[in-house]
Amino acid sequence: MRNAMVAAALLLACCFAGSCKKDDPVQDPPFPSSRLSATVDGHSFLSTDLSSVLSGTWVSILGKLNAGNSKESAITLTMPHFNGLGTYPIDSANKGSYTEVGGSYHAQSGNIIVTTDNSVHIVGKFSFEAAAGNGSSKAVTNGSFDFYK
């Protein structure tokens, strides 16, 4: 009986010893691509390159559309006093701009609305009316951004 119990204990020990190997480290899945899109004076804008800066309460988002040298354009959103979810009206602090070859347009009015903000992800929407120094203007509507910190 004693030999049977020792044999059973050894068998159990062998089973557990084989199952206690070190697993490969679990890797987080890659983040989906970040994006920024909008309609500018009725034309679609979908960034081909998105960068963001988060530093303390400062958030800046730059979406570029590289459609060749003569058609490159960009939308920039800046929130220097970012505090999570909410509406950030375009004013002297919160800024928006649209730049294209031949002109820069600075937001005069509008909103940036943050709808998701967690430890890794910020999502929101925006719209603004922008003017250039020469009096021309651009309407930036249906804007949305989705980026990973």
The answer to whether position 76 is within a domain reads: yes
Q: Is position 70 within any domain?
A: yes
Burial degree of 2 (CB within 10 A; 0-12, 13-18, 19+): exposed
CB 149, CB 121: distance < 8 Å? yes
In the chain, the number of structural domains is: 1
Structure tokens at 3: 């030999």
Q: Which domain holds residue 136?
A: 32-148
Domain membership of residue 99 (yes or no) is: yes
Q: Is residue 8 part of a domain?
A: no
pLDDT per residue as tens, the chain (149 positions): 444 433 434 343 444 444 444 455 555 555 578 999 999 999 999 999 999 999 999 999 999 998 666 679 999 999 999 999 999 999 999 999 999 988 999 999 999 999 999 989 999 999 999 999 999 999 999 999 999 88
118: domain CATH number is 2.40.128
- Residue 3 resides in a domain: no
How many other C-beta atoms are found inside a 10 Å radius of the C-beta of residue 53? Answer: 10
